[in-house]
Amino acid sequence: MFSLIAHEVLQYKIRETKREDYIAVGMTPFSYAGKGKTIEISYFQVPAEAYDNSFVLQA
């Protein structure tokens, strides 16, 4: 799976090497409650500028 929609928000799976880039622009990883703790996975909300500029997603 390379994307998911949760709570009406598009999330893309990203490479671990890009994680800091997404965090730097204010994106947070998708997370959910599981077994008494918060689980974060490698899916991040698609930045708003990507809707107008698909080049943003090509990196």
Domains, in order of start, for the chain = 3-58 (3.30.1460.30)
Q: With bands split at pLDDT 50, 70 and 90, how would you rate the model's confidence at 57?
A: low
Q: What is the predicted pLDDT for the residue at 52?
A: 79
3-state DSSP call for residue 2? coil
Token code pair at residue 41: 């996975």
Task: Give residue-wise pLDDT tens across range 8-32.
Answer: 888 989 999 989 988 888 888 999 9
Whether 34 has a pLDDT exceeding 60, the answer reads yes
Whether 43 has a pLDDT exceeding 60, the answer reads yes
The residues, ordered by sequence, that sit 6+ positions from 26 with a Cβ below 8 Å of its Cβ are none
Q: What is the predicted pLDDT for the residue at 59?
A: 53
pTM given for the model: 0.69
